[in-house]
Amino acid sequence: MTKQYFDLFEDVYVPGRWHLDEPVDQRGQKLGTWLFRRGEPAYVEGRIRIPIYVPGRPLDFSFVAGATIPVVHARVAAVFAELAPGDVQLIPVEVEGESEPYVLLNITRIVKCIDDEASDEVRYYKPEHEQPERLGQYRSVIGMRIDPTKVGDAQVFRTLGWKVAIVVSEDIKQALERMGATGAKFKEVTGPSTISSEERTRNRKIRELLETAATAREAAWRTLGSLDKDVVMPIAMSGSWPGQRQLWSVVRREAGRTLLVTHGLSDPFIERLEPSVGFGLELALEVDAAVKDISKGWPLLLLDRVADEVAEHEHVRESVKAGLFSMEVSGKGMPKSLVTEEGRVAVLLGVESRALPSHFSTPYGEVKLVTVKALLPSELAYLLEHGAEGQAELARRFVESGEEYLSRLRRKPVA
């Protein structure tokens, strides 16, 4: 009888669950998640600590932020120690605020077993992706299926070429289910595909449309600076965005500046299954600092809130396309220098720039690049008093001061 194997991943829908941050050493320095994704033992001097990113209900099985690196309760670690002693390295860790024992589960076994033909779809890095070091490697594996005859005696392993996946045997799955391990979910990766040929064709068409658009955008972003290697940061699935995916890109610019851009407002509308530029625009917010942890900084938080307004309201999109447009969003979690007495933050969209293009081309058409400028409270007050004329005057003063579209926390107001 053919053995069954399962993709092991975390249940992100557990109500009120915690979210773990990246592991740090005893000095508080981030260790780098790559250390635990190589499929080999890792050696770190001193005790490893796991900070809490979002407080909440502790889970028996969790991934650290941004990586498929499991942090598990000691009772879960005991299952792996018993059933897969040769496939894992169990590293005791201290989880912030927890007295219970936890372990970082480092999978040290890699198996070449992905079945390209049986999987729903696999995509590879090509020359146009401009990452020659990855040429021919997996770019994505959708609906992964493995060949169980190639697994051998492995009980838990990462798949060669696609190390984000963690595969476990049926024995481990059943043991974790019997003990009621919270946070762990399973999806079978053996047997025939679960989707029909019609669904496969439709999904392939969607991915081709989205990838063509994304590749064109990435080419545009690279003309503006150094694109982060992890080009796209998936934040969430969003039905209001054309491709139903809410994505961002990060460009490192001259003088240590960081440019954040939306990476999906110009996706084709996937429900229509036809080429388009979606909303026909992307948003850009630049700050005068080398932001290291984008996911926790105020620039992404602000751009996220502005993008939500643009994606959800047609009248906002049309106004943005027509020229200058100002709006207010929630100031929760934002720097105090930007927040008004009412707890809001204002932005001015569409300030012209000599450093950024106003449009860029894609195979599906032209896309407008709209700048997002964070305003100081006194500048918002000026806008509210002077209306559309105030928008034009503020934009003129920003250009005159040399600031243009740049968002800065420490600057003199122009109004």
Q: Are residues 362 and 230 in the same domain?
A: yes
User: Do 28 and 120 lie in a common domain?
Assistant: yes
The closest of 230, 171, 181 to 37, measured between CA atoms, is 230
Query: Does residue 408 sit within a domain?
Result: no
Judgement on whether residues 246 and 305 belong to the same structural domain of the protein = yes
Residue 182 has pLDDT above 60, yes or no: yes
Tell me, yes or no, whether 369 lies in a domain: yes
Q: How much is the pTM?
A: 0.71
Last residue within a domain, chosen from 145, 165, 188:
188
Reported as a single tens digit per residue, the pLDDT across 195-218 is 787 888 888 899 889 989 999 999
In tens, the pLDDT along 91-147 reads 999 999 999 999 999 999 999 999 988 888 888 887 877 778 878 888 888 889 999
State the average pLDDT over residues 55-77: 94
Taking residues 301-313, report their average pLDDT.
95
Total number of domains in the chain: 2
Average pLDDT (366-388) is: 95
pLDDT, one tens digit per residue, over 238-289 is 579 999 888 899 999 988 899 999 999 999 998 898 999 999 999 999 998 8
Specify if 195 maps to a domain: no
Which of 135, 167, 188 is the endpoint of a domain? 188
Q: Are residues 355 and 228 both part of a single domain?
A: yes
Find the domain containing 273 and state its range: 219-401
pLDDT tier at 231 (50, 70, 90 boundaries)? very low
- Same domain, yes or no: 40 and 170: yes
Q: Is residue 142 part of a domain?
A: yes
Both 262 and 332 in a single domain? yes
Looking at the domain assignment, is residue 241 inside a domain?
yes
pLDDT at 47 over 80: yes
Q: Are residues 241 and 366 in the same domain?
A: yes
In a domain, 258, yes or no: yes
pLDDT at 235: 45
Nearest to 31 by CA among 60, 61, 71: 71
Same domain membership, residue 96 and residue 14: yes
Question: Is residue 349, in this structure, part of any structural domain at all?
Answer: yes
Label the pairing between strands 110-111 and 156-159.
Answer: parallel
Q: Of 188, 208, 232, which marks where a domain is finished?
A: 188
Query: Does 208 fall in a domain?
Result: no
pLDDT given at position 234:
46
Please, what is the average pLDDT of the chain? Answer: 91
Q: What pLDDT shows up at residue 140?
A: 83
